[in-house]
Structure 1
């Protein structure tokens, strides 16, 4: 079967998400909160903004986190441009800027609700 460009892009994005699904539940929760807060303004944000808020350990996983949100249908994050990285180790390389879409807000809210339900179930079982 021949894939269209868009089908191939979505398939590749799903493959990347599967490979990079090693983010801890804690880091995903922290990054969800930060992306939701930054995205709620409607203004573009980048890894530079996240780096100023999130502990270094969670920052190391932020790239994997973003790969998990990009390339989905419906679109969760929209790339709006680039800016120079503030990370010294990046040596001024560009980082993407994003806006959080309505679908992205719903996705993060649903993920937070699932985590809350699972935590309540663990507490009840203990």
Structure 2
């Protein structure tokens, strides 16, 4: 159902911890996309992996917010708002999967856009504020 393995050096925010989390989130999303393409994988198994992605994303969001606040990023509030929207969307997908009503094609579209948008539109513009 697709593949997000697009990591390249131009995506780096020049912070090894943040980059590592981005890479891990992309790898987990790739795994989920592969699972979505298999009709025999039950929704509750997908819910488990979605929850793992949501948990890592929550840690990632906290790290970014801490760095942006410490470095006085002028767009911190906007960054936090976008992160909250992404987190809410992930939790909605978890709930849908737990309820056995997962729209697999729509989730694949979401995953394909979510990480790329996060990297390109949200994090790269503020990478000068993501240093330790």
Fold match by TM threshold 0.5? no
User: Quick check: which one's strand share is greater?
Assistant: 1
Kindly name which structure, 1 or 2, has the bigger radius of gyration based on alpha carbons: 1
User: Which has the larger helix fraction?
Assistant: 2
Scaled by the length of structure 1, what TM-score is found?
0.31
